[in-house]
Structure formats: structure tokens, C-alpha cells
């Protein structure tokens, strides 16, 4: 995920997501980009990346590790702000 965030540009699709996810993606991207700029990256200083990984893991588990069900899991999560906020809490 860090390689993707380091290389990918933020597209207009991201801005269609709820503000929680927009902010999370932006923060995770900043952590990765700034972490690569340092000579000694510290894994302990990536809280947004850790939260993004939790969201990814939650969606993957909720879809029963089935790619066909993955999108519906993401849509359900996006529609339920309370559950999303609970997952994003530190």
C-alpha cells in the first residue's frame, strides 16, 4: 500500500468519498511521501497509514475475502458513518 500511495496521484474520485476517508487518504499519502524523504523512516510515526490498513482489512474481512463482494462492503462502510468512525478511532 505504501508503494501505491507514494506513486499514485490523488484523483477527483477521492473527493467523492466521505470527508473521513478523504482526510485519511490524504494523511496516509503525506506520511508515506514525507517518510520516504527522511533518511531513516520510522514505522511508528504512520498513524494514518495504520488506520487506512485497518479500513482495508475490515472491508476485506467483511467481504469474506471475495473480490466480488468487496465493493458492496466498501459501499456499506461508506454509508455507515458511525461504523467508519469507530474503525478510524485510534
The more confidently predicted of residues 19 and 37 is 19
Q: For the residues 1-15, what does the mean pLDDT come to?
A: 82
Q: Residue 31, exposed/middle/buried by CB under 10 A (0-12, 13-18, 19+)? A: buried
Q: How many domains does the chain have?
A: 1
Round the average pLDDT of the chain to a whole number and report it: 83
For cell 523512516, name the residue: 41
Q: Which domain holds residue 70?
A: 2-88
Q: Which of 22, 10, 7, 37 is nearest to 78 (CA)?
A: 22
- Residue 73 — very low, low, confident or very high, per pLDDT cuts 50/70/90? confident
Confidence (pLDDT) at 68: 87
Residue 43 has pLDDT above 70, yes or no: no
Amino acid at each position: 500500500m505504501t508503494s501505491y500511495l507514494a506513486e499514485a496521484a490523488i484523483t477527483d474520485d477521492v473527493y467523492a468519498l466521505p470527508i473521513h476517508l478523504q482526510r485519511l487518504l490524504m494523511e496516509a499519502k503525506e506520511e508515506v511521501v514525507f517518510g520516504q524523504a527522511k533518511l531513516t523512516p520510522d514505522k511508528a510515526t504512520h498513524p494514518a497509514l495504520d488506520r487506512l490498513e485497518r479500513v482495508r482489512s475490515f472491508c476485506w474481512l467483511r467481504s469474506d475475502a471475495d473480490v466480488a463482494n468487496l465493493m458492496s462492503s466498501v459501499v456499506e462502510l461508506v454509508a455507515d458513518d458511525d461504523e467508519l468512525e469507530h474503525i478510524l478511532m485510534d
